[in-house]
Structure 1
Amino acid sequence: MSERPSILIVDDEVSNIEILSATLEEDHDIYFATTGTEAIEIARTTLPDLILLDVLMPGVDGYEVCAAIKADPLIADVPVIFTTALGDQEAEVKGLMLGAIDYITKPILPVVVRARIRNHLDMKRMRDELAEMAVTDALTGLGNRRRLEKVLNQETSRLSRSGGLLSVIILDIDFFKKFNDLYGHTAGDRCLTMVAAALNRAVHHANDVTIRYGGEEFACVLPEIEHPEAMEIANSIRDRVQALGIPHSGSDASPFVSVSLGVATALCIPGSQPDSWIRAADEQLYVAKAAGRNLVAGIVFATDGVLPVASSG
């Protein structure tokens, strides 16, 4: 995968795309679109680092494209720079109000375009680094609750367009309060980091996300993973945590630290509520705990009302 920043150029005039591409292609990966509708689809597919967007286009104009981008959780954070020959302050204000970060006036000056884009990409990189710190759990290095909310919003938005599957696992360390009381908080922190490492080893897909949900509770977001495979992953997590062999004399479930897990899988449809997966997985976590802990329980549910259609233990 290229480490160069990627830029999506959107313009109905191919000659303008060629000029901008020639100006930027030495240091950037370039995508292009000639219509507003195409631009939105390519942006969702490629997730560019920056979008250069023409204002005046037939059909869906640049303002409508910008508004659609900023309303889409998957691509809302991508900076948009308008390119226009308007020279109209009112038009510039309108674009900035819609969420654009800058304007470039045509005909372009290559040295100016490169400098502005370099500055905006540098600012984006710094924002991304700060944003990553804000959604990372300091102890385990996993994502935190804020990251969970963001990922669920993005994935349900993305997958609802194709009716894709989404699976979520919620897990809890069994009798962790007793562990802290018996062995102390330093040992408790070490236990949390070891469980987090076991969680990461069990999750293999590129788009999967692991989370410290809060306290001794963890989560996995598994896009495009069917329920049987999600159950296999959950059982692998349970087995890996047991294999750590961390003594826990205060547990009624096992002589070693163990986890209980709830798994929820559903098709994403337009209007799906991201927290539906959390509620369904939480309910299955309670099922696993009620059955004796150190167990996995799972369900396939329907997002239009969170109605269970199948379950497994």
Structure 2
Amino acid sequence: MNPPRILIVDDETSNIELIAEIFTEDHEVLFATDGIKALELATTTDPDLILLDVMLPGLDGFEICTRLKAEPHVSAIPVIFITGRDDTATETRGLALGAVDYITKPINPQIVRMRVSNHIELKRARDRLTQLATTDGLTGLANRRRFDEVLECEVQRHRRSSAPLTVLMLDIDHFKLYNDTYGHLRGDDCLRAIARTIEEALLRTTDLAARYGGEEFACILPNTGTSAAVTAIAERIRTQVMALKIPHETSPTAAYVTVSLGLTTHYCTASTQPQQLTAIADKQLYVAKAEGRNRYALDGLVVEPLHGRPHLPSQIR
């Protein structure tokens, strides 16, 4: 297991050095001297815990804590206030904002170390429980619950950033026939192999692959909107599944297991709802299947597997 990562936020370098000395031997220690840098590090480095001074130039500790708790990606990171203000009102305010503890200066190194250790242990236990609750037991991918949670967060985030968000839905072609022919144990092996292939085809850590249900999978692709980028991902998944060469002798469309994909890209607005994106991507998936399977459809255009040229669905040509 990686050593715990702690983010120290204090505008006094002497305080940072003092606190860092307590943890450098067996923790990864990061630091920031202002609120903007603290928020940046919190969102990009995923610390296990934040030690946060109340009195800071610009954004004070209370404002930083408020912003952290409002951001779904970092809201679960425990925050401990460390401050020279030893009064009930300040402590109450900090805890009310979501901090897990409040330590006054001058600090006692042993007490700080024990409190930090306890809160990191609790966080990691919660993380393990969350992972169990949000992971598909068969494939190891995110489950439907996790997919829905992440999509909700990404829609909210993309409303603010004005960046494009892409949702991909994928279905294994003629999977019922596959199970009927080879049995459910082989079917489970097929699902696991395709899950690994989808996960390997997503090259960024910010992308999410999930088992949506049965033989259907779904992906969330943040900040992805150019047709070249979107189609490259879809084609990579499609061709890499074919490269597995999983025999499917009863398939009406191919000698091996193939997949069909539907994709949609949106610039999220205040009215955009997560279920709208999955519904549109699912509709595109059925367009791809109606056009012959082993291909993908992106917002009304279908790309066939042989020549790769997009065209309109046959029913509207």
Alignment TM-score, normalising by the size of structure 1: 0.83
Report the residue type matching 2:235 in the other structure.
Answer: N
Greater shift in the superposed pair: 70-79 or 112-121: 112-121
Going from structure 1 to structure 2, the CA distance change for 1:298 and 1:4 (only over 3 Å counts) comes to same
Greater shift in the superposed pair: 132-141 or 172-181: 172-181
Post-superposition offset of 1:202: 2.7
Going from structure 1 to structure 2, the CA distance change for 1:24 and 1:138 (only over 3 Å counts) comes to same
* Partner Cα distance (2:178, 2:134) in 1: 27
Going from structure 1 to structure 2, the CA distance change for 1:312 and 1:183 (only over 3 Å counts) comes to same
Where does residue 228 of structure 2 map in the other structure? 228
The answer to whether structure 1 residue 115 and structure 2 residue 118 are counterparts is: no
The answer to whether structure 1 residue 283 and structure 2 residue 283 are counterparts is: yes
* Partner Cα distance (1:53, 1:163) in 2: 31
- The residue correspondences of 1:90-239 to structure 2 (distance < 5 A) are 90-156=89-155, 162-225=161-224, 226-239=226-239
Where does residue 294 of structure 1 map in the other structure? 294
* Partner Cα distance (2:66, 2:39) in 1: 10
* Partner Cα distance (1:311, 1:42) in 2: 45
* Partner Cα distance (2:26, 2:184) in 1: 49
Could you list the per-position Cα deviations for residues 141-194 of structure 1 after superposition, in whole angstroms to 9, with x for gaps in the alignment? 111112223333454555666544433321011232343344433332222122
* Partner Cα distance (2:50, 2:245) in 1: 50
Going from structure 1 to structure 2, the CA distance change for 1:205 and 1:57 (only over 3 Å counts) comes to closer
Contact 1:169 1:221 in 2 (8 A): yes
* Partner Cα distance (2:85, 2:271) in 1: 38
Could you list the per-position Cα deviations for residues 212-233 of structure 1 after superposition, in whole angstroms to 9, with x for gaps in the alignment? 1111111222334443232122
Report the residue type matching 1:208 in the other structure.
Answer: D
Q: Percent identity?
A: 50
* Partner Cα distance (1:209, 1:228) in 2: 19
Report the residue type matching 1:219 in the other structure.
Answer: A
Where does residue 85 of structure 1 map in the other structure? 84
* Partner Cα distance (1:35, 1:311) in 2: 53
Post-superposition offset of 1:70: 0.8
Aligned Cα root-mean-square deviation (Å): 3.0
Post-superposition offset of 1:137: 0.7
Going from structure 1 to structure 2, the CA distance change for 1:78 and 1:10 (only over 3 Å counts) comes to same
Where does residue 23 of structure 2 map in the other structure? 24
Report the residue type matching 1:279 in the other structure.
Answer: A
Please give the secondary structure, in 2, of the residue aligned with 1:171: strand
Where does residue 69 of structure 1 map in the other structure? 68
Could you list the per-position Cα deviations for residues 214-266 of structure 1 after superposition, in whole angstroms to 9, with x for gaps in the alignment? 11111222334443232122223222333434444554433433211012234
Contact 1:227 1:264 in 2 (8 A): no
Going from structure 1 to structure 2, the CA distance change for 1:210 and 1:267 (only over 3 Å counts) comes to same
Post-superposition offset of 1:17: 2.4
Post-superposition offset of 1:86: 2.9
* Partner Cα distance (2:145, 2:125) in 1: 19
Please give the secondary structure, in 2, of the residue aligned with 1:218: strand
- The residue correspondences of 1:232-311 to structure 2 (distance < 5 A) are 232-248=232-248, 250-267=250-267, 273-299=273-299
- Residue-pair matches, total: 303
Please give the secondary structure, in 1, of the residue aligned with 2:299: strand
* Partner Cα distance (2:50, 2:227) in 1: 37
Where does residue 307 of structure 2 map in the other structure? none
Post-superposition offset of 1:117: 1.2
Going from structure 1 to structure 2, the CA distance change for 1:12 and 1:212 (only over 3 Å counts) comes to same
Could you list the per-position Cα deviations for residues 40-61 of structure 1 after superposition, in whole angstroms to 9, with x for gaps in the alignment? 2332233222111122345433
Query: Which consecutive residues of structure 2, in runs of 5 or more, have no partner in the other structure?
Result: 301-309
Query: Which consecutive residues of structure 1, in runs of 5 or more, have no partner in the other structure?
Result: 301-309
Alignment TM-score, normalising by the size of structure 2: 0.82
Greater shift in the superposed pair: 112-121 or 244-253: 244-253
Contact 1:262 1:297 in 2 (8 A): yes
* Partner Cα distance (1:135, 1:149) in 2: 10
Report the residue type matching 1:291 in the other structure.
Answer: E
